[in-house]
Amino acid sequence: MKISFNTYKLYTIPMGAKKREIVPEYGRYDKELASMLAPFAENKKAKVPSLYLMKGVNPNNNNVFDTFTKIDDVTRKINFVRSQQAWNDCLMEEIEEFNVARSEYETNKTEQNYDHMEEEMGDIFYTAASIAKDSGVDPLEAFKATNRKFYNRINIMERMCASRETRTPDTLEKCEDYQRRALWNAAKRKLYDAQAIHYQA
């Protein structure tokens, strides 16, 4: 069934929640979903069944990984995505859609285009977290590990500059792009060597 853009806007919960007033009570979402479904029911008097799959889930919870886990459990329960290849395809598709949305926003910086770009970036995060979970990896711990990795690499780069271990300026800010890339690769090598020693111990 083809849905007009105006109908889509009317019966879709806005993604840019930070810019809109949304009441966090759970019951509110059941009512909103019921009103969304009503126009598409074959029988206009048909009663929308009680919604239970998302019961107790608050999409505005600041603990995004907790909310993600609950929603992702539901998507698996209904076999929303069934294979690793399907998740990979979803990620590539979401990246392409984000690039389109970003291009649109750069051309015309409206609130609508920003919300669209933000929504597509959220889809990338969600899909990547789902791939992690599907692989047995805790997405929160994976993100923490990456934060530690970037923290350590940049610290090593700074130390290399300050100690004049390499022929670079004494701060990263003064380095040319090619020098920063060389320092980045050198920092990676130092961390890989340290990890090798750790795992051999």
pLDDT digits (tens, 9 = 90+) for 21-76: 433 444 455 566 667 666 665 665 556 566 678 888 888 888 888 888 888 888 88
pLDDT at site 127: 92
Q: List, in order, residues 6 or more apart from 104 with CB less than 8 Å away.
A: 113, 116, 117
- d(CA 73, CA 67) in angstroms, rounded, equals 10
Whether residue 11 contacts residue 35, with contact meaning beta carbons closer than 8 Å, is answered with: yes
Give me the phi and psi of 57, to 5 degrees please: -95, 125
E strand residue ranges, 72-188: none
Q: Domain segments of the chain: what residues?
A: 1-55, 63-137, 141-200
Whether residue 41 contacts residue 48, with contact meaning beta carbons closer than 8 Å, is answered with: yes
pLDDT at site 56: 81
- Mean pLDDT, consecutive 10-residue stretches, the chain (201 aa), reads 40 44 46 65 59 80 87 81 80 95 95 95 93 90 93 91 81 89 90 81 62
pLDDT at site 59: 84
pLDDT at site 20: 43
Predicted TM-score (pTM) of the model is 0.67
